[in-house]
Amino acid sequence: MSPAGRARALAWTAALAVPLVAGAVILVPMAASGAVDLPDKSPAELIEFAGASEVDALSGTIAQTSALGLPDLDALTGTSGSGDTGPAAPDVADLLALVTGTHTANVYLDGERARLQVLDPLAERNVYVDGEAGQAWYVDSETQTATRFTLPAGAEFEQGHSRREDSSADPAIPTPDRMLDDALARLDETTEVTVGTDARVAGRDVYELILTPRTADTLVGDVRFAIDGENGVALAASVSARGADEPAFEIAFTRVSFDAPDPSVFDFTPGEGIAVVDEELPLPAPEDSASRANPDAPIVSGKGWSAVVQLPGSNGTAELDAEQRALLEAVTTAVDGGRVLQTSLVSVLITDDGRMLAGAVPASRLVEAAQTGR
């Protein structure tokens, strides 16, 4: 299968990705082992090795864990004690699920077909992708609904480039390999690249590639990738905050196979009692979404590790009700011109005039960007 075909299948899955909310899972982190002694590679050789990877079929379980240092919101959301939740609890839970706790999902890929299977404690959610047919399903067993997505007539994903040449043009599911694609596409002089200690992930020998910011104007200490010693696929990725001993974010395969999955795992036919909804899924080209002519497009100031992304707003915090305002004030700190949510890796500024700025930078950098536009 061509890199374009692989990218198209993964891009469909990205467009329909859902929060990976599940019960507790035992992570299998990258573990150094004296028994692992892969052939030595320089940083440049390891990057070239990973970039030449041609794996287009796999199956496995991915686990993600986040420990960003967010405050405990149980008292506000009503999730402690009896389990009774207050009116704001569902929205808060959905938001926090993206950036906290532990999440797990099964991933299947074969050519232009892909599947993401999320196993909740009492239900199951699936995304089925057929890149060749330009169609995908999102199925929720709890609500007994199946949404069928199709591309608008004539729409295509940006293709025609090598796997690592321009990863921003073919978004994919949040796997370690995808994170590596994005990181390598953005490598520049602001990043120091080194090779760490050989280790094992999901029972396979891996190299360790370490990216370290050369600027102090970022919250990120380093980003580490575990790269399969046989085929160059990234099997784990972690991001550590500056000065921290443990990662603030990790995503890793706990099991993986590079054999083609059974074709039946990609098949879906709505059964009796399943409500089917059809939707068209427009996917604009990257240059359209980034256009400054679009007033709703994000604006990026700065570059590299200290870049700040700004999203335009409308009425700021004026439209919040009392409950929403109380929640906002509980998780943020007042600063000049707005309020800041600070985590170990990411800062988010909500300005009084309705803009939202975010970046892997100190809060002071966001305030500066909001005031100066730089």
**DSSP one-letter string for 88-133:** THHHHHHHHHTTSEEEEEEEEEETTEEEEEEE-SS-EEEEEEETTT
Q: 351 near 337, Cβ under 8 Å?
A: yes
Displacement of CA 192 from its chain's centroid (Å): 23
Q: Tell me which residue range forms the domain holding 276.
A: 3-280
Domain shared by 178 and 253, yes or no: yes
Same domain, 291 and 272: no
Residues 6+ apart with CB under 8 A from 46: 195, 207, 209, 227
Residues 155 and 51 reside in one and the same domain: yes
Does 336 lie in the same domain as 351? yes
Q: Token pair of 178, please?
A: 């995808």
Q: Which two tokens stand for residue 374?
A: 């730089």
Based on the fold, state whether residues 239 and 253 are members of the same structural domain. yes
Do 270 and 317 lie in one domain? The reply is no
| Dist CA 296 CA 24 (whole Å) | 38
User: Quick one: 141 and 243 in the same domain?
Assistant: yes
- pLDDT tens, position by position, 305-364: 989 988 766 555 656 667 777 777 777 889 998 899 888 998 989 888 888 899 999 999
Q: What's the whole-model pTM score?
A: 0.76
Domain end residue (candidates: 220, 253, 280): 280
Say yes or no: 30 and 89 in one domain: yes
Element (H, E) at 256: strand 249-257
Last residue of a domain, one of 280, 314, 330: 280
Tens digits of pLDDT across the chain (374 residues): 444 444 444 444 444 443 333 222 333 445 555 578 899 999 999 999 999 998 989 999 998 888 877 655 444 444 433 344 333 333 434 444 445 567 788 999 998 899 988 877 777 889 898 888 888 899 988 899 999 988 666 555 433 333 334 333 233 456 898 889 888 988 889 999 999 999 999 999 999 999 999 998 999 999 999 999 999 999 999 999 999 988 999 999 999 999 999 999 999 999 999 999 998 766 555 544 444 455 566 788 888 898 998 876 655 565 666 777 777 777 788 999 889 988 899 898 988 888 889 999 999 999 999 988 78
**CB-based contacts of 284: which residues, under 8 Å, 6+ apart?**
none
Same domain, 29 and 138: yes
Residues 254 and 155 in one domain: yes
Among 261, 280, 299, identify where a domain stops. Answer: 280
The predicted structure's pLDDT at residue 5: 46
Q: Does 74 lie in the same domain as 100?
A: yes
Same domain membership, residue 99 and residue 27? yes
Number of domains in the chain: 2
CATH code assigned at 345: 3.30.310
- What CATH number is associated with residue 121? 2.50.20.10
Residue 308: strand, helix, or coil: strand
